[in-house]
Amino acid sequence: MKYYKNKKEIELNRELSILDDFVIKFCNLLDEYVVVSGYVSILFGRSRGTEGVDLLIPKLSENEFKKLWRKIYLNGFECLNTSKVNESYDYLKSHAIRFALKGKPVPNIEFKIIKNDLDKYSSDNKIKVKLKNGALFISPPEMQIAYKLFLASDKDLEDAKHIYELFKKDLNMKELERLINNLKVRRNFEKIK
């Protein structure tokens, strides 16, 4: 793995898992997105499974969403919340919606609109991960760590520890400290350091 901080790029030569192929296939259908939360730790080696991959996208007009919906369905995915595009668009305004390969609910993509400053931060500072069979955009490691410390289940703290140990040398410590202070997660940070 090589992290080119100035270019905001990571080169990762991992063997792709079925989960990676699934995520790449879905993300290739999107113009703009950022992958956040647990799957990012898994992409970088955390040895655990997951049901859902969290993904943030910018706000879409109803027409844009309908176009995307059609593209998603034509590529073999289905929405697990509803099969009606109008219902789905309304639901997306306040909730996440899930997409999976038809007839295979696991794994699935938890699809959310960018709503708050934390989401926006992840999107504005996203990192491109170049893989053997494509590329993915992920939220930066500093935010990954801080947000996982905020979620704070054992699983989340372990994800934070994984990313922290792996990127330790390359982290922007000033930025990590700032995010830790903003999210008020100093105590949890001390637990995993």
Q: Which stretch binds other proteins (CB under 8 A): 24-32, 68-76, 104-112, 142-150?
A: 104-112
Listed in sequence order, the residues at least 6 apart from 33 whose beta carbon sits closer than 8 Å to its beta carbon are: 27, 55, 56, 57, 137
Q: Provide the minimum distance between the beta carbon of 73 and other proteins in the complex, in angstroms, as a whole number.
A: 21
Asked if 76 touches other proteins (CB under 8 A), the answer is: no
Q: Provide the minimum distance between the beta carbon of 45 and other proteins in the complex, in angstroms, as a whole number.
A: 5
Considering the complex, state which of residue 65 and residue 167 has its C-beta at the smaller distance from other proteins. 167
Under 8 Å between Cβ of 112 and 52: no
Report the residue from 15, 61, 93, 94 that binds other proteins according to the rule CB under 8 A. 15
Task: Report d(CA 16, CA 86) in Å as an integer.
Answer: 35
Burial of 20: CB neighbours in 10 Å, binned 0-12, 13-18, 19+: buried
Q: Which stretch binds other proteins (CB under 8 A): 28-36, 39-47, 81-89, 178-186?
A: 39-47
Considering the complex, state which of residue 107 and residue 140 has its C-beta at the smaller distance from other proteins. 107
Asked if 162 touches other proteins (CB under 8 A), the answer is: yes
Asked if 94 touches other proteins (CB under 8 A), the answer is: no
Task: Report d(CA 64, CA 83) in Å as an integer.
Answer: 17
Task: Retrieve residue 175's tokens.
Answer: 């930025």
Report the residue from 14, 70, 184, 187 that binds other proteins according to the rule CB under 8 A. 14
Count Cα atoms within 13 angstroms, Cβ side, for 48: 15
Asked if 187 touches other proteins (CB under 8 A), the answer is: no
Amino acid 104 reads K
Report the residue from 27, 34, 40, 42 that binds other proteins according to the rule CB under 8 A. 42
Region 43-72 residues binding other proteins, contact defined as CB under 8 A: 44-51
Under 8 Å between Cβ of 78 and 102: yes
Site for other proteins (CB under 8 A): how many residues? 29
**Binding footprint of other proteins on the chain (CB under 8 A):** 1, 12-19, 42, 44-51, 104, 106-107, 154, 157-158, 161-162, 165-166, 192
